[in-house]
Amino acid sequence: MTDLNTNFAGIKSPNPFWLASAPPTNTGYQVMNAFKAGWGGAVWKTLGKPIVNVSSRYGALSYKNNRMMGLNNIELITDRPLEVNLREMKEVKEKFPDHALIASMMFETKEEWHDCIKRCEDIGIDGFELNYGCPHGMCERGMGSAVGQNPDVCEKITSWVCEAATKPVIVKLTPNVTDITRPALAAQRGGASAVSLINTINSVTGINLDTMDPNPTVDRLSTHGGYCGPAVKPIALNMVAELTNHPDFHLPISGIGGIETWQDAVEFFLMGATTVQVCTAVMHYGFRIVTDLTEGVSEYLDSHKMKKITELTGITAKKLRKWEQLDLNYKIIAHINSEKCISCQLCYIACEDGAHQSIALVKDSRIPVIKEDTCVGCNLCSLVCPVEDCITMVKVETGKKKLVWANHPANPNHILAR
Amino acid sequence: MSVLTSNKNFLPTLSDVELKEKFSNIKPRMANSEAIVEASRCLFCHDAPCINACPTSIDIPMFIRQIMSKNTKGAAKTIFTQNILGKSCAHVCPTEVLCEGACVYNNLNEKPIDIGRLQAFATDYAVENNLRFFKKGKSTGKKIAVIGGGPSGLACAHELTVLGHEVVVYEANEKAGGLNTYGVAPYKYSNKDSEEEVKYIAEIGFEVKTNCPVTGATIPELEKKYDAIFIGAGLGKSKKLGIAGEDLESVHGATEFIHKLRKKEQKIQIGKTIVIVGGGNTAIDAAVESSKLGADVTVVYRRTEKEQKAYYFEVELAKKHNVKFIYLTNPVSILGNEFVEGLKCIQNTNGGQKDLIIPCDMVIFATGQEKIIDFYKSIKNLEVTQGKIVVNKNFQTTNPKYFAGGDCINGGKEVVNAAAHGRDAARGINEFLMRGHND
């Protein structure tokens, strides 16, 4: 068994699987149950000044018969008194001294931040996470994503926190920006020890077509909520990689966004995260999913003859380049395994109507045939094929040397340069 | 009380509660959530094999997609556009060898899409809510008689009405629906189901005259009154075995036996021990229904299990109902003086033959149905081969005024085949009457 012990910017935990700051970390009761189930850490539901929540609060996107492909919420930060939260956090820390307990926070004034930091450190908290991401409600009051979207404010507030905090400070970033590296670099300048991303994405999950009311509905009205769950993973993976690959960014990354299985977690590690945070999957299935996360990641490391998760860090992020650096002479074409083909012809119609008309049907056979001379190797047929490994993409030896756009004769800039 | 055996060894009739339990639909209705989950599995194949396997070519992936998007009404329209008997076909089709048998999931060793039950989900909903998708067409002034109110006749009458013709259906029985009303197993399609369906189809605006058999004597009048005539007369009585003892009271043809059960809604007394002769689907239906009523049932078939014409899943159903099968065995005579006491057979064994006596209280023969040749003879120039009416691709007979479809042209197949014939014959009739084609 591999060693999953983690040291994230100085915060130690028995494994890299933390609960994100969200409803599953609302109370000491929940966090203790989570730790018993095997979670390595928890970021407590965001502490702040008293708020009042609405009813209802969550909306979801289902795809065919898959429930909750995406989830959004219009819930605010903790609605419990700070004293209650602190008392329960203290109890958790006493019972689980080796687990990571992080206080998520969101305040307005420097004094409020400093006061809460002190009180949290007094009860033995392991670190802080600054909630600069919440995209609804709090941002209207100048907090949450209003901070994360403005690099100057982000840097300033981070520096306030870092003045007072002796424990590591994680800045949680909002994805509701055009360039994720700007707030991340601002957090770094402000003195943060790490970042976590992504927070939720501005969204409306759907509309009740009978009443034409938006979801989730509060007396027939709604507001844009924060989107999360499996549907957001691709966006999160890209943003994590953008930070990993930025030459001036050096902080550890806690990956968040649609993580449900061990494969998801490994993907975040490969993009540069060293811990991951989970919320929606727990809201869907409960704490016990962590068993599969820890076992799956351990097995994966074993099978790759690796001992520690950090051996995975950023391997795949390095393989993300600018488009113009990709080899234009690399060629693959589709290959259909006629023995595996179940003759649904989805590949045919996808290519015919939706791509490059490079699959043919032949008389007296239901098995489509690839037109190798026109196949552009787009992958679409292999993506729609319902049979595993039936359509594979096969490399074609062109005999040509690697050629990138920068050097391509069709590139006007290349011609100018000559 | 109806009694099908004069023997003292008959079973008491079942109570309403017992009948309801035993004869409830073997393919129960899907709940909304089940239908949507199942519909979500459909791959939406291109040029889908299930469509090609359906004799009426229903756009199955499309109606399944409509169910998935909760457009159940649209799904029903897709089905009825191709097959107005889509409701009964959903329940009685041997989907295992038609659409579901062609589903590509079979190639993946996965369960095929439950197409029959999805089709029932949409069509039951449409019929129960009387959702109507077709209107009587602009009147052409042409009149057409349809002989037989079974699946082919109803499909033909419906399509002709859509095309604007005046149609009268002549049904010999007290109710229309044909096999759906009198022939198929009640645990697939009930009397109520069939009656509702007939009403739904006829409501478009054609007349159904029940208790109105067409005979050689009424043919001249019909020919005078109508511009064209469709024959959807089905098949005749069960073929006799031609063995001694066949006239005893407790000996019945399977078709007649099932007909009586349907008519009395299974409130009928049958023998405790029953032997059924035959290897087709009708034999199986008679066997399963008898077993459900409490009888000890044995099916005797002259050939081997492999040669049996009944579908494998029907044989499985019978076995689940404790029906015993004896193969390679021919009936010789029915024993008994006053009552049936047994069936004497000759069994072919490896070495040769041996006598076999199976004691029983009732014998049912399911060895095929007769063709109604005498009736055909009353129609001029109507070519009939091996008891089947000969038709061209437009379902026109050798007498150009007559068209035909269903069991009377194919010798007895599925409801869905009859529905396809009826629909296409209507188009043939329309062509003939409106454009004068008679090739």
The Cα of A342 is separated from the nearest Cα of chain B by a number of Å equal to: 5
Residues B257 and B356 in one domain: yes
Pairing, β B207-209 against β B228-231: unpaired
Segment B399-412 shows an average pLDDT of 97
Mean pLDDT in chain B?
A: 94
In the listed set B96, B128, B160, which residue is the last one of a domain according to the structure? B128
B398 DSSP 8-state letter: S
Residue B136 counted as domain residue = no
Residues B204 and B246 in one domain: no
Residues B160 and B73 in one domain: no
Range of the structural domain that residue B392 is part of: 143-236+371-435
Residues B348 and B424 in one domain: no
Residues B350 and B397 in one domain: no
Q: Determine the Cα angle at B307 with ends B306 and B312, to 5°.
A: 55
Residue A62 counted as domain residue = yes
User: Is A134 tagged catalytic?
Assistant: yes
CATH number, position B124 = 1.10.1060.10
Range of the structural domain that residue A396 is part of: 323-417
**Region of A285 on the Ramachandran plot (φ > 0 left; ψ -120 to 50 alpha; else beta):** alpha
Of B193, B368, B188, whose CA–CA distance to B289 is shortest? B188
Contacts of A119 (CB under 8 A, 6+ apart): A82, A86
pLDDT band for position A416 (cuts 50, 70, 90): low
Residues A315 and A337 in one domain: no
At B206, the amino acid letter reads: F
Residue B27 counted as domain residue = no
pLDDT at residue B138 tops 70: yes
Contact B36 A65 (CB under 8 A): yes
Q: What is the pLDDT of residue B439?
A: 45
Instruction: Report CA B60 to chain centroid distance, whole Å.
Output: 22
pLDDT, tens digit (0-9, with 9 covering 90-100), for B2-30: 556 555 778 888 999 999 999 999 999 99
Residues A315 and A349 in one domain: no
In the listed set A296, A319, A342, which residue is the last one of a domain according to the structure? A319
CATH number, position B219 = 3.50.50.60
Residues B359 and B259 in one domain: yes
User: What percent of chain A stands above pLDDT 70?
Assistant: 99
Q: What is the pLDDT of residue A337?
A: 97
Q: What is the pLDDT of residue B437?
A: 47
Q: What is the pLDDT of residue B1?
A: 39
Residue of B30, B33, B44, B45 for testing the chain A interface, max A β-carbons within 10 Å: B45
- Scanning B97-156 for CB atoms below 8 A from A yields 104-105, 107-108
In the listed set B71, B97, B128, which residue is the last one of a domain according to the structure? B128
pLDDT, tens digit (0-9, with 9 covering 90-100), for B266-280: 998 999 999 999 999
pLDDT band for position A287 (cuts 50, 70, 90): very high
Residues A266 and A351 in one domain: no
> Is the Cβ–Cβ distance between A73 and A229 less than 8 Å?
no
Pairing, β A127-131 against β A58-63: unpaired
pLDDT, tens digit (0-9, with 9 covering 90-100), for B349-372: 888 999 999 999 999 999 999 988
pLDDT, tens digit (0-9, with 9 covering 90-100), for A238-267: 999 999 999 999 999 999 999 999 999 999
Q: What is the C-alpha to C-alpha distance for residues A264 and A282, in angstroms, rounded to an integer?
A: 14
Residues A86 and A169 in one domain: yes
Total count of domains within chain A: 2
The Cα of A62 is separated from the nearest Cα of chain B by a number of Å equal to: 12
Residues A330 and A351 in one domain: yes
Residues A122 and A36 in one domain: yes
Of A287, A221, A258, whose CA–CA distance to A74 is shortest? A221
Pairing, β A359-360 against β A369-370: antiparallel
Residue A1 counted as domain residue = no
Segment A67-76 shows an average pLDDT of 95
CATH number, position A200 = 3.20.20.70
Q: What is the C-alpha to C-alpha distance for residues B146 and B383, in angstroms, rounded to an integer?
A: 19
Q: What is the pLDDT of residue B351?
A: 83
Residues A216 and A351 in one domain: no
Residue A71 counted as domain residue = yes
Q: What is the C-alpha to C-alpha distance for residues A120 and A89, in angstroms, rounded to an integer?
A: 9
Q: What is the pLDDT of residue B72?
A: 98
Residue with tokens 């708020």: A51
- Scanning A355-414 for CB atoms below 8 A from B yields 361, 366, 386-387
Q: What is the pLDDT of residue A91?
A: 98
Chain B CB contacts of A344 under 8 Å are 43, 45-46, 48, 104
Chain A CB contacts of B46 under 8 Å are 344-346, 348-349
pLDDT, tens digit (0-9, with 9 covering 90-100), for A10-56: 999 999 999 999 999 999 999 999 999 999 999 999 999 989 999 99
In the listed set A266, A295, A319, which residue is the last one of a domain according to the structure? A319
Chain B CB contacts of A384 under 8 Å are none
Residues A96 and A30 in one domain: yes
pLDDT, tens digit (0-9, with 9 covering 90-100), for B79-110: 999 999 999 999 999 999 999 999 999 999 99
Contact A345 B43 (CB under 8 A): no
List C-alpha distances in Å: A201 to A261, B381, B408: 21, 78, 66
Q: What is the pLDDT of residue A134?
A: 81
Token duo for residue B68: 């998935």
> Phi and psi (nearest 5°) for A335?
-135, 130
Segment B174-181 shows an average pLDDT of 96
- DSSP secondary structure letters along A349-382: HHHHHHS---EE--TT--S-EE-TTT-----HHH
Residues A276 and A413 in one domain: no
User: What percent of chain B stands above pLDDT 90?
Assistant: 91
Q: What is the pLDDT of residue A64?
A: 87
In the listed set B84, B105, B128, which residue is the last one of a domain according to the structure? B128
Segment A57-65 shows an average pLDDT of 92
**Region of B278 on the Ramachandran plot (φ > 0 left; ψ -120 to 50 alpha; else beta):** left
How large is the ipTM? 0.87
Residues B60 and B89 in one domain: yes
Of the partner residues A345, A386, A387, the one whose CB lies closest to the CB of residue B47: A345
Residues B243 and B361 in one domain: yes
pLDDT at residue A170 tops 60: yes
Residues B242 and B356 in one domain: yes
Of B324, B326, B257, whose CA–CA distance to B285 is shortest? B257
Residue with tokens 């949409």: B122
Residues A280 and A380 in one domain: no
Q: Determine the Cα angle at B417 with ends B56 and B186, to 5°.
A: 110
Residues B105 and B183 in one domain: no
Residue A164 counted as domain residue = yes
- DSSP secondary structure letters along B57-113: ---HHHHHHHHHTT-HHHHHHHHHHH-TTHHHHHHHS-TTTTHHHH-GGGGGTSPPP
Does B37 contact A at CB distance below 8 Å? yes
Contact B104 A344 (CB under 8 A): yes
Q: Which residues pair with A131 in a beta bridge?
A: A172
Residues B242 and B232 in one domain: no
Q: What is the pLDDT of residue A133?
A: 85
pLDDT at residue A174 tops 90: yes
Segment B250-257 shows an average pLDDT of 94
A309: exposed, middle or buried (Cβ count in 10 Å: 0-12, 13-18, 19+): buried
pLDDT band for position B174 (cuts 50, 70, 90): very high
Token duo for residue B417: 């085949």
The Cα of A229 is separated from the nearest Cα of chain B by a number of Å equal to: 21
Residues A329 and A248 in one domain: no
Q: Cis before residue B357, ω within 30 degrees of 0?
A: no
CATH number, position A365 = 3.30.70.20
Residues A95 and A204 in one domain: yes
pLDDT at residue A414 tops 80: no
Total count of domains within chain B: 3
Residues B355 and B246 in one domain: yes
Token duo for residue B190: 């009930």
pLDDT, tens digit (0-9, with 9 covering 90-100), for A335-364: 999 999 999 999 999 999 999 999 999 999
pLDDT, tens digit (0-9, with 9 covering 90-100), for A302-346: 999 999 999 999 999 999 999 999 999 999 999 999 999 999 999
Q: Cis before residue B2, ω within 30 degrees of 0?
A: no
Residue A138 counted as domain residue = yes
Contact A386 B108 (CB under 8 A): yes
**Percent helix, strand and coil across chain B, each rounded to 5?**
40, 15, 45
Residue A189 counted as domain residue = yes
> Is the Cβ–Cβ distance between A367 and A338 less than 8 Å?
yes
Q: Determine the Cα angle at B97 with ends B93 and B103, to 5°.
A: 105
Residue B134 counted as domain residue = no
In the listed set A265, A299, A319, which residue is the last one of a domain according to the structure? A319
